[in-house]
Structure 1
Amino acid sequence: MRNKVCDAVAVARGLLDATSRLDFPVAALVDLARRFAAIEFDTPDAPDADGYLFQHGEASWFSEPAFVLGLVRQLEVEDSSGEHEAYVQVQFEFRYPLDDDLAGAGRHADWWFPGEGKEFEVWLTEVAQSPIVRHVAGKTPRDFQIWQELV
């Protein structure tokens, strides 16, 4: 049975438990993505209806300068006639105080969708080996959030 897209953020939050290792951010994101990907949602049968985004960069919308490191699962929502209505984006996001090292890491965004030639595990391995790993090593996140938005 496939889960409803509207329940995706609750399902994602349920993946966190006492054994979740949030002290290694990129590894934690990869682990959460792997576990979250194993859960099916009621999305259309289209190649871009269920995909992932790995991203990081400076964020200016917080009260203090911040650097965000996150992974997003994007799920398509259809209206009652089967037409595209929106996307639900479930975000796993680490937020760091901005320092010179993180500011120098720049911005990065990398999407993955099934059927685009690269297996999900290969993409996750690339995420786990991203250069950002060395930039966040030894840094303590200010916050970790799981949230969703409709886009």
Structure 2
Amino acid sequence: MPKKQRREDALALLRGELVVGRATTAESTTRAAWLAWVRFAQLRFGAVPTPESDGLLFQYGTYAFTGRPMFTLDLTRQFGVNDDDGEHDHYVQVHCELRFEPEPALDAAGSFDSWFFHDSDADLDQWFAAMEKRLELVGGRGPFEIELYEELV
């Protein structure tokens, strides 16, 4: 059985996958970021053993979170965190946000989100394939910005 990673190391592990991806691929930055995130998403962490304690979220849309509208592709890993009594306390999310200049074709795509949870009966490879089809929306476009961050929710 493969070694499980520490949740506290998740953001650093994602950063490391992005560095490896940039060094080993000549593909567009968007494709390289997706492949890095897929490698990261396949890692197993010592998360709380509940069905929704380790989730993957693929979502996009045109938003103005920073005051300026931009098309955002957000690849998120969510971990459930329990308190000392073993009860759910909060979630920690690790984000890889790819931001693109707004374009009519991207704006027309609207918004989309899809979850996958490790330790469920769902097939991870099938989910990746379905999300990769959605990724065609940004095609060969390169993001003007990629931001990695962690937040408590």
Q: TM-score, normalised by structure 2?
A: 0.85
Matched, 1:147 2:128: no
Task: Give CA-to-partner distance per residue, 1:124-150, whole Å, 9 cap, x none.
Answer: 0111112x51x3223231101221111
Distance in 2, matches of 1:52 and 1:147, equals: 15
Number of residue-to-residue matches in the alignment? 148
**Match for residue 40 of structure 2 among 36, 43, 54:** 36
Distance in 2, matches of 1:50 and 1:84, equals: 13
Distance in 2, matches of 1:137 and 1:42, equals: 34
**Match for residue 86 of structure 1 among 71, 83, 90:** 90
% identical equivalent positions: 34
Preserved CA contact (<8 Å) 1:26 1:128: no
Distance in 1, matches of 2:119 and 2:141, equals: 36
Give the drift of 1:26: 5.2
Give the drift of 1:27: 6.4
Give the drift of 1:117: 3.8
Preserved CA contact (<8 Å) 2:14 2:37: no
Q: Which runs of 5+ in 2 are unaligned?
A: none
Q: TM-score, normalised by structure 1?
A: 0.86
Amino acid at match of 1:99: E
Aligned equivalent of 2:6: 4
Matched, 1:106 2:110: yes
Aligned equivalent of 1:123: 127
Pair 1:120–1:6, CA change in 2 (3 A): same
Secondary structure of the structure 2 residue equivalent to 1:129: helix
Pair 1:19–1:145, CA change in 2 (3 A): farther
Q: Which runs of 5+ in 1 are unaligned?
A: none
Amino acid at match of 2:5: N
**Match for residue 25 of structure 1 among 15, 27, 30:** 30
Give the drift of 1:82: 1.4
Preserved CA contact (<8 Å) 1:9 1:148: yes
Pair 1:139–1:33, CA change in 2 (3 A): closer
Give the drift of 1:6: 2.3
Distance in 2, matches of 1:37 and 1:129, equals: 17
Aligned CA RMSD, in angstroms, stands at: 2.0
